[in-house]
Amino acid sequence: MLARYTVMKTGVKISFAALLLICSLASFANSPIGAPVEVHQRISPRTATIAKPTVALTLDACGGQYDADIIRLLITYNVPATIFVTKKWMDHNHAGMQDLLAHPELFQIEDHGAEHIPAVVGVGRRVYGILGQPDMAHLHREIEVAAADIRNASHRNVSWYRGATAEYDRAAINEIEKMGYKIAGFSVNADAGATLTRRAVADRLSRIKDGDIVIAHMNKPRGDTAEGFGDALPQLLARGFKFVTLNDVQVQEIR
């Protein structure tokens, strides 16, 4: 009786160990190895442009509020931009969304996710302290829920995705591309998440070059981003800069 009990107990132990092994192997398979990467891109020189220098301006609406000043500025100067919105920004900023939708000739609205969760996949993985996605199913949901809302609002296709924090696992990049989305990188960070001063934003913008893809933010009206753009934009236009949306060009990754 004692012997039989020992055998059974050992059997249970073995099964439990095997289960642990299977679980850890499964979680290993779901956890992409390696640090997240920031995707840097420029406009491809293969893009046929009608004028040079040409720059793609991209603005993120992560969450928070609507910086109407920067959108009014772009409308005033007839400057197109690609706008990356989250579902949570859309849900709380109807006036901002209406302003964007009222100018389809200027604003290409694209996907910044449902809840602004970084595209790093695996339980406990973080970027800048922000939790990523536990698994690929959650990454799919983050992308597709926002894309559906943008399609419904704009009656346009959504073909670009920029993840929160603009950092990605290699496995997430592969998955996003498999879903049919192009990842929107950048070459110039104009406002560091709307934290830079007016002068710093204007200074960074004044140094942009042909082919640059600029990232800035339109969700923090108390920041200085709009003011910096207000100082720099007229000068850039006077210098002959032409602004395009991402759908107007091909992009290439830079190292």
Residues in touch with Zn ion (CB under 5 A):
60, 62, 164
Q: Which is nearer to Zn ion, 41 or 54 (CB)?
A: 41
Q: What is the CA radius of gyration of the chain?
A: 23
Q: Of 167, 199, 200, 196, which is closest to residue 184 (Cα–Cα)?
A: 167
Q: How far is the CB of 48 from Zn ion (least distance, A)?
A: 31
Q: Which is nearer to Zn ion, 202 or 216 (CB)?
A: 216
Q: How far is the CB of 184 from Zn ion (least distance, A)?
A: 11
Element housing 204 (H / E): helix 198-206
Q: Which is nearer to Zn ion, 85 or 236 (CB)?
A: 85
Q: How far is the CB of 190 from Zn ion (least distance, A)?
A: 14
Return the amino acid letter for 126: R
Q: Of 57, 53, 48, which is closest to residue 78 (Cα–Cα)?
A: 57
Pair of tokens at residue 159: 């073909």
Q: Which residue is nearest to Zn ion (CB)?
A: 62
- Classify the phi-psi angles of 192: left when phi > 0, otherwise alpha if psi is within -120 to 50, otherwise beta: left
Q: Which is nearer to Zn ion, 121 or 146 (CB)?
A: 146
Q: How far is the CB of 19 from Zn ion (least distance, A)?
A: 39
